[in-house]
Structure 1
Amino acid sequence: MAIKAGGEGFNIVDVSGSTRTVYGPGADWKLDEELDVDEPTEGLWKGTLTESSNKFTVPEDGLYHVIVDFGIKKVAMARVKWGVIGGATPNGWSGSTPMTESAFDLNKMTFKVTDLLLLKNEWKFRYSNGWKIILDPEFDLGGGVTGIKVNSNFGGAVNNLDAGGANIANDVYGVYTIELTWEAGKGYTASAVKTGDGPDLPEYPENLFLIGSAVGGWDWTVNDVKLVPVHSHPELFWGIFSMSEGGEFKFSPEQAWKGDFGKAGDATNGVYAKGTDNIAVPGASAYYMVVVDLKNETIEVTEPGVYLIGDAVGSWDAAGADNRFTVNGTDDISITKNLVADKELRMHVSASTLACDWWQSEFIILNGKIEFRGTGGDQERVKVSGGNQTIKLNFKDGTGSIN
């Protein structure tokens, strides 16, 4: 509701038949300065709802969200300054892009942003940099659920806004004007109009990162899990990761919630279509190989296919069954093989969607470290002693050994 600053203020009135009960702020009504991380930051007041003619007042003209729970006699009021946020927006999911507020009007107010570059991704409306207001964090709702919370964001669709709803999909890359209008007695309506084409984007990103509870958490500041680019195939990335059972993960071309993506639907033979949903670890805690094909928009999650190749094993056939490493749970990936003396040790990975020559996805062990070729040139060579040798690869810490 739009509220004018000043001494007049307002009361909350409960009408039940012919009975009118007037409420005002209790003695504990105050600006909350110990906000939860998800709560709006532009001014949030909370307190007890009390039968009183004392008025609620605001410090400035503007739009406010007033939340009342007559059952527990609690009330909250938040200053509303709308913005947009999401993987489609300039700041990704890390921060809102503010919308300009129209001149104050008690009956109708509009928030607008122009010349906004939107990627083909998802986004939402949220006000005052918050996702929800926590009216009572401990109230028992039954079924093991606690806390009374009210959403401070809109999802769903531009023409069918849903408080706290699913992310809004933006299907066409370009420059947009977005408006969100509140009208007394009618609520909110929105529009998103494409006004121009965006600048040409690089066809494929230089880097691709993986994040999620499957690999240590969703915090970009501590997560540095990176996929390996494939030589001569800028559309392809791969990686082998130790993943936790029950965990989930997604991808992003940078270490931020911008342009991030996951899967759509269910996998066919371990291959998902690219989409926006989190990808679940498909089984027990173990090493898994992930291949992302940005051209065909697929994501493959499979058992690691790691192979020896070359003169050291007497064969240059890629992905030879006799030269495949064994996955040892979450410990390491290893192979014991009778090697030809004084020959170069070369290794590569293979998967059904990794459409490249073996050397384009090769790696070596150099000074005890796994060194990926990636998009680089021919690597320094490491020769092996002859006889029965065990080669171990630890992709968790990037180490390898030959014994």
Structure 2
Amino acid sequence: MDMIDRRLLLASAGLIGAGLAGTARAQSTAQGNGVSANAAPTGPDPSAKDRIRFAVIGLDHSHIYAITDALIRGGGTLVAVHAGDPKQLVPFRARYGDVKVARSEAEILEDKSVQVVASASIPNLRAPLGVRVMRAGKDFLSDKPGITSLAQLAEVRRTIAETKRKFAIMYSERLEVRAAVKAGELVHAGAIGRVVQTINIAPHRVSAPSRPEWFWDVANYGGILTDIGSHQADQFLFYTGSTEAQVVASQVGNFATPNRPKFQDFGDMMLTGSGGTGYVRVDWYTPDGLPTWGDGRVFILGTEGYIELRKYVDIQGRPGGNHLFIADRKGIRYIDCSKVPLPFGPQFVTDVVEHTEVAQSQSQALLAAELVLTAQDKARTLEGGQRPPFQGG
């Protein structure tokens, strides 16, 4: 994943101050979480064998850039965009050219040539939009979290059953991170034996001045476990191969932003599944001194070895991101994953055309959502930023 300074990228285009620019600055300096350092893809990757037409509805989060790039790499042609805030269209069209601006959501939904609709709207609006998209006879690709309540999840599942359409979720911390892709290849090849546990640590930078007002209210994003934790639940299911899973325990709190009482800046959860166990910790505490938005790490423990991913930065070590360390029966080694291909885009486009599930299992995507929604619902709240009570002798 190429490291960049996206503030300079946007400033050079004269876009600082536009609605999405602040969000973009607050996100990753690595491709996969926002605008990449390079120009938008001009066409499909060589591995893309199919072609589709797609549209975008909702530009409220900069993840829409990674989603759009992935679809273009996969063989998609962007034919229309609709946004509630016209200012958001400025950086989007600067990147993707003179794409048609739809006057309304209905204009896109009624276009029979559009096969997929992608969205990074305000999180609690994504699932209802996805339901409308599927009922319009199209497949849907959402930013995470794609679903912010158990009631929404039930409606999404009903609509999938009735329409036979896809409700895909871009869990980009696995699908668009090259080190995570490589880890999946190693795990599924048996490099570390049977996976027993995953540990996911996912700090994020809050960049408070750049955040829109909806960001600070749990009602809009579902809570920290629902939001950031969705990436981690997806990785837990994927690396352990779990097809069934439950939440053992969870907790959330607000330790650093008391002036925003409806916000959560810390959360963790313990998970157990048919293929292994998992622990997740998420927070908004990335210090200003870190040169990227967060020091995301994944530890995958197997019966014959273990893997550590340092996705975005190696503190006082190798430059850039996508670092993989493995210890197995043969020894210890480092793998630079910066050139590992990203297969999601081409696989997803083919899935749309052939009605397959290679890029993403529908049941796994929704199980990850169910896990974090359940964890959020049952989470113990650490009131007033107090530390957990001490127990023991």
TM > 0.5: no
TM-score (structure 2 length as normaliser): 0.23
Higher relative strand content: 1
Greater RCO (Cα-Cα under 8 Å, separation 6 or more)? 2
What is the TM-score of this pair, normalised by structure 1?
Answer: 0.22
